[in-house]
Structures are given as C-alpha cells and as structure tokens.
Chain A
Amino acid sequence: MSTATKFKTLKDIPKEEYIAPGNTMCAGCGGILAVRIFHKALGPNVAWVNAAGCMTISVSYPLSPLKSNWLYTAFASAPAGAQGIRDALDVLMAKGKLQKSEDLKVVVVTGDGAAYDIGFQSTAGAIQRDLDFYYLCYDNEAYGNTGFQMSSSTPYASSSKTTPVTAAYPYGNTGRKKDLFEAWRAMKAPYVATLSNSHGVDFLRKVEKGEGIRGPKLYIDFAACPTGWGFDPKYSIEVEKLAVQTGVWPLKESVDGVVRHTYVPRALTPVREYLRTQERYGHLFKPVEKPEAIATIQRSVNDYWAKVAAEESTQATPAPA
C-alpha cells in the first residue's frame, strides 16, 4: 500500500487486548482471531452488532469476553441493527443529548451464513443507504455453529452435513462459492476487502484504510474452522496461509470500485497441498485420489489469477492442473 500506515511489520500490532482469554469459541477458531485483530486496529470505542452464528455464543449471559458494546440482533438483520445504533448516536449527538466522546464505531460481525445467505438483503440495504459502518464477515465457508451445513459460501467439492459424499455425489458440494466480494462491490460499497489472519499486517492496514472512509466498509476474513474443516487446531494459521499461497483465497481490496490485489503469490502452490490438509476434502484423496475434481479446482484458481494478471499487470505463475 502506498499510503502512510502505522502498520509496517507484525511488531506494530497494537498490544492492547479487547477480548479476554478463555472465551467459549473452539480452539484454533479463525473467527474470534479476526475479531481480536480487527478490534486492535479499531481501538476501544466499538459497538459490535451480531447475527446468529458461532460468535453469538461468545457472549453468553452473564459473561462477555469483550471490553466493548455488544448487540445480538437476529440472523437476517445485523446491518439493520447497525443502522439503528448509528442513527441513534447521530441524532442524539445532533440534538445535544449525547457527548461526541460517546461516539462509537459500529461493526457488524457475522459468519458467512448471515453474510452470504439470510442477511444478504439487509446488507444490500445498508450499503444502498450508505450507512457508515464496518462489516466483518468471518467466512468459514459453511454453517459452522449448527454443525457444518452448506452455505452459499461453501466451495465446490467440499463435503458438508447437507452435501454429503455418496456414490451419486462423489465430490460433495456441486455448487460454486458465491462471490460476495464482487456482489458487495457491485452495490457500490466504497471499500471492500478480503482478509486472512495469516497475513496480519495486510489485515491491519485494510482496517486502518477503512477508518479513513465514510460509508460501508466491508471485510471478508478467511476464517479457518478446525472443527468443521477437520484438521488439528494448531495448524489454523498454516491452513489459512496455504489458502493464500495456493491462490484459493486472494487478498485484495476495492476502493470506490477499483480492485487491487494486495498480495500476489509469485508462484501458486498447487491447490492439492491446501485441500489435503482438511477432512472436508478428504473424499478427494480417499480411498483413491480424484484427480479430475482437484484439476477442476486448480483450473478455476488458475483462471482467476490469469484474469488478475490481465487486469492488474501482476503475475502469479499458475500451478499445473
């Protein structure tokens, strides 16, 4: 990034913690890690607005791991909850009923089920109204809290509880992952970015950049889910890093509609290396490898990066399909 930033290396990650240790999330949860980093970048004055999902359970009466405000709304309408808080703060400050020092950064935090599926409409509404808020989607590519069912974020060939692998469906999920980044960008959100917890400096800079922009600032964090994806929690960051290195999870941002990739792998690691780390793709390797499905995924990744190369004059060497 060319603009001035206070985040140059991982050593610049703020030391302040806004989430107490010992919360109720699974070991290795990418979602809570994203909330932790996001909060560090934003500082203390935050109102989190949540939709139903894993994170909902993290604030279980009478406890909260957060040092900031929290509102659980409903599955479909967290962005509308953000609208209510933002509008109330604005009108109360305008009427002199509330000091400016009480102002808050309003942040929607949901999983992909809310962001990609049931809350898509309310997010579109908030974007259209140019609501000044942040949206942090921790994307673990399925309905994790209910036990890992397919969402419209679930990638092709991932198994899930509702796209099980059978003789008739040897690859699990037959659908494609919805391109939420492009959907949000198409609605003219001024800032849209993808994040990975494995790339902390990139993450922090994007939140920092959003702070300078009025209106909807929307983030999709690739949130490793050891419980749902099936891998040892100690490898969460490694799995996320592999998603970036294989090009499966591109790190990018859109400022007023102009897309720029903030990290371009020099040569893509074969997707096979990433897929084989997780049991949700286990059927692609056991009992026998299914090279045609793996090749399909590799081709779609290569196609994506070929398009990026054409549009942004960057180059990621494709991996063999």
Chain B
Amino acid sequence: MRPELMTGNRAAAAAAKLARVDYVPAYPITPQTEIIETIADWAREGTMDAKFVQLESEHSMMTAAGAAALTGARVFTATSSQGLLYAMEMLYNISGWRAPMVLMNVSRALAAPIVLEPDHNDVLSARDSGFLQLHSETCQEVADLVLLAYRVAEDKRVMLPAIVNLDGFYLSFTREKVSLPEQAEVDRFLPPYDPPHPIRATRPVSKGSAVMEGYLYSYFRYNMHAAALRAKEAFSEAARDFQDLFGRAYGPVEGYRLDDAEYVLVMSNSFTTLGRQAVNRVREQGVKAGLLKLRMVRPFPTEEVAALLKGRKVDAVFDQNLSPGLGGILYPEIAASLYHVRDRPGALLPVVGGLGGKQLTSDEMCQVFERMRGVDVGGERPEPMFLMRDEELTKAERAVATAGVHG
C-alpha cells in the first residue's frame, strides 16, 4: 500500500485493526492515549470489528485482557510508564496463564519525579515477567512488530504474551511514513487465534490453578523459559514469511555498518537513529564505527549479540534507563552474552543517557565513540559515561537554585 504519514500511536492502532483483534480493554495514560482513542473511534464507527471497553485501572485492564485471551479472543491493549507498573502483577499472571496477547508500551520515564518523556525503566521493569519484548525504532517498525508479535505469541511452541515498545513523543506523537499492508495479505500472514484449551461450557477448564509445591512451580517456570527461548525460532520463521509478503526484513538484532567496524555501539528504540548519524559522522573522520540495534529484548538474543560484537576493539552499551546502584540495565545482559566468547571485545563501555526523554545530539553520540577510542584496552574497567551537556547542567543547577535551599 502507498505509504502515508502517521504517528507511532496511530500505526499501532492500525496494526491492531489489521490483526483483526477481537477485544481491546483500555485505560488512558499519556503518551499512549491516542492509541485507545483511535480504536475507540473505529470500534464505534463500526470500521473495526472489536469490542472496546474502558476499565477503571491498568490492573483491571490487564486482568480483563488476560481473561479474554484465555476465553479465546485476540486481545490488544496499550499502556505507559506508571500504568505498566500498576498492572505489573497481572503481567506475571498472564504469562503464567500462557495467554498470548499484545500490549503496546509507549515508553515514559517513571515517577518520582513525574515526567512525560521517555526512557526504558518502564518497559525493562517487565523484562522478567514472561512477556516477550520487541522494541521499535520507527513508526513503520511499530506497525510491523505488532503483526509479528501476534504470530510469535500465538505460536503453539510459544503461547506467551508480548510487549511491543515504542518511545513516547519521539515515536508516539511523531509522524513518519508508514506502509500499511493490505488486509488480505495480513490475513495470509496471521491466521485466526486458535487457543488449545479455552474456557468453555462443553469442556470446562481450570486456569491459574494454585500449585502448593515448589517442584511444580519450578516445572512450569522452566517450561515458560523454554517457550520464551523457542520464540526466537518462531520469530525467525515469522520474519521470513513477513519478508516474503511485505518485503521488509526483521531480525532479533540489526547491524549497521558492522562489516569492518572496530567500535560498535549497542542501542535500542528511537534514539538508535541518532546513533546511526553518529556512526556516519565518525566514519567520515576515518573511525571504523558501527552500531548494533536490539530489536528483541525478550527472549534475549544472546547468540546474535555475541556473534556481532565479538572481535571488536571496543563496544559500548547505551542504556536509556538506570538501575540506581548498578548502572544501565542492558549492560550486564550484553556483558553476559560475551563472557564465553573466545574472541570477545577488548572492552565494554557503559553509557547511560536520555533519561526522562533528555534530548540527545549526534555530537554526544560522537563523543561516545571518542571515549571508546580512548579506552585503555586490557587495562582498567572503563568508567561509565552519564550523558549531560554543559548547558543542560547549567540549566538544571539554575532550577535547583530557583527552588531554593532551606535549613
């Protein structure tokens, strides 16, 4: 179909419609709200054949979502930030129920202090929940990953729910060119949802049964882990079909100018675009720079990361999140992927930036490459970088002075 301009939020809603979802339980929160408003419009106009219901909290919204998936409906919903945390208990339940569904998370940093713009502490707080996670860089990717997420989540080898992440503001409210596929082709790509044991009158089932013994609990959790790992295979197959039908290729990771790269920056989500710019700029200065984008965060693409980062002089991990007292959340996951690699990179530089949507410039990203080149390979562990420009620091200090200091 001819590309049209649309926001990331609208792309998400459009993909849900193309996926022929049956049920959309909803609850508003910035910057996600446009998704559910769009679907509410379509459901009430009758242009989307889905039941839309507004709940009284994200916790209830996710409970209804999971229960409906167990009853055999294809379910879609969306949240952000505090909403994801408020629903967190249900994320663990829904994956434990093995109820596939797709949840959009429109990233927004977490209070306190309350803020509207994105970082990834919200979505990464769900990293251990059993939800699969796919993260998008562009509005096109938002739409495509929703369709891929349904295929993988509902795959009988997987049967797990999925989160598709997009950054608030940078994607949610930014219009980009998006090619939406034709309905008939989507129908070929994504068959109707056919759960093996739905809640039914003629064949009653027990869902969410208690287990009173640790060995049973362990058995089911190991099963979930195995299913999540099988999602890689399911994703690869789905991505092949997707490319055949729609022409766009998606892997769990995506390399940029990696062939001869000596310095590789690992990134995810919308700021990756700035990372690519920086790669191009430092390449013009003769630096052999490259970039590795994480698209799949759960299951974690350990082998792909190791294969593409090994043998480099220095790699850096850009974390748009912060675990106070540790540092970036993805850094240790990348480091663990590389530990058993014979030819692992000479150093792994931790970088934290973009918290609360703090703007990044490609200058700053170029400085990251500068720092990578200055790392003492084989020497001390490199000091982490916390990105903040001088004028930002001055402004922050001025605000603190304005607020005043008492006592």
Contacts and interface: CB of A to CB of B under 8 A. Distances in A.
Contacts of B53: 83, 87, 129
Interface in B59-87: 59-61, 63-73
A69 B59 contact: no
Interface residues of B, number: 42
B210 A91 contact: no
Interface string B204-232: 11111111100010000000000000000
B72 A81 contact: no
Most B Cβ at <10 Å: residue of A79, A80, A97 = A80
Interface in A44-64: 44-45, 47, 49-50, 56-57, 59-62, 64
Contacts of B207: 69-72
B390 interface: no
A128 B60 CA distance: 14
B25 interface: yes
28 contacts: A59-B209, A60-B212, A61-B209, A62-B209, A69-B207, A71-B208, A72-B209, A72-B210, A73-B66, A73-B67, A76-B59, A77-B90, A80-B59, A81-B66, A81-B67, A84-B23, A84-B64, A84-B70, A87-B53, A87-B68, A89-B71, A91-B51, A92-B22, A92-B73, A102-B202, A104-B199, A125-B55, A125-B56
A251 B67 CA distance: 33
A51 B399 CA distance: 47
B210 A92 contact: no
A154 to B, nearest CB: 25
B50 interface: yes
Given A101-B201, A125-B57, A80 B210 contact: no
A64 B56 contact: no
Interface string B165-208: 00000000000000000000000000010000001111011111
Interface in A197-230: none
A87 B59 contact: no
A87 B209 contact: no
The 6 A-B residue pairs whose C-beta atoms are closest, nearest first, are: A84-B67, A125-B56, A80-B60, A88-B71, A72-B208, A84-B64
B22 A88 contact: yes
Contact of B57 (A66, A85, A87, A122): A122
A97 B72 contact: yes
B49 interface: yes
A114 B59 CA distance: 14
B66 to A, nearest CB: 7
A56 B206 contact: no
Most A Cβ at <10 Å: residue of B23, B50, B61, B206 = B206
Interface of A: 44-45, 47, 49-50, 56-57, 59-62, 64, 66-74, 76-85, 87-92, 94-95, 97-98, 101-104, 121-122, 124-125, 128-129
A242 to B, nearest CB: 33
A281 B183 CA distance: 67
Contacts of B68: 84-85, 87-88
Interface string B34-64: 0000000000000001110101110111011
B204 A80 contact: no
Most A Cβ at <10 Å: residue of B49, B53, B201, B202 = B201
A102 B23 contact: no
Contact of B59 (A61, A77, A92, A128): A77
A81 B63 contact: yes
Nearest to B60: A80
A101 B200 CA distance: 10
Contacts of B57: 121-122, 125
B206 A70 contact: yes
Q: Is the interface of B mostly helix, strand, loop or mixed?
A: mixed
A215 to B, nearest CB: 15
A72 B208 CA distance: 5
Interface string B85-125: 00001100100000000000000000000000000000000
B211 A60 contact: yes
B209 A64 contact: yes
B321 to A, nearest CB: 27
A196 to B, nearest CB: 28
Contact of B66 (A56, A66, A84, A89): A84
A80 B201 contact: no
Contact of B56 (A67, A73, A97, A124): A124
A129 B67 CA distance: 17
A92 B72 contact: yes
Contact of B25 (A49, A59, A83): A83
Given A71-B70, A98-B72, A128-B56, 12 more contacts: A60-B212, A66-B204, A69-B205, A70-B204, A71-B67, A74-B63, A76-B89, A78-B63, A87-B53, A92-B73, A121-B56, A125-B55
A49 B201 contact: no
Interface in B322-352: none
B60 A88 contact: no
A64 B211 CA distance: 12
Contact of A45 (B25, B59, B201, B208): B201
Most A Cβ at <10 Å: residue of B22, B50, B216 = B22
Contacts of B72: 88, 92, 97-98
Most B Cβ at <10 Å: residue of A70, A73, A128 = A73
B201 A84 contact: no
B209 A90 contact: no
Given A56-B210, A64-B209, A122 B60 contact: yes
A74 B209 CA distance: 11
B63 A77 contact: yes
Most B Cβ at <10 Å: residue of A68, A77, A91, A98 = A77
B97 to A, nearest CB: 8
B295 to A, nearest CB: 30
A91 B204 contact: no
A71 B66 CA distance: 11
A81 B64 contact: yes
Most A Cβ at <10 Å: residue of B57, B59, B60, B199 = B60
Given A56-B210, A69-B206, A83 B70 contact: no
B370 to A, nearest CB: 49
B60 A49 contact: no
A101 B208 CA distance: 24
Contacts of A129: 53
Contacts of B90: 74, 77
A88 B73 contact: yes
Contacts of A94: 51
A70 B51 contact: no
B210 A84 contact: no
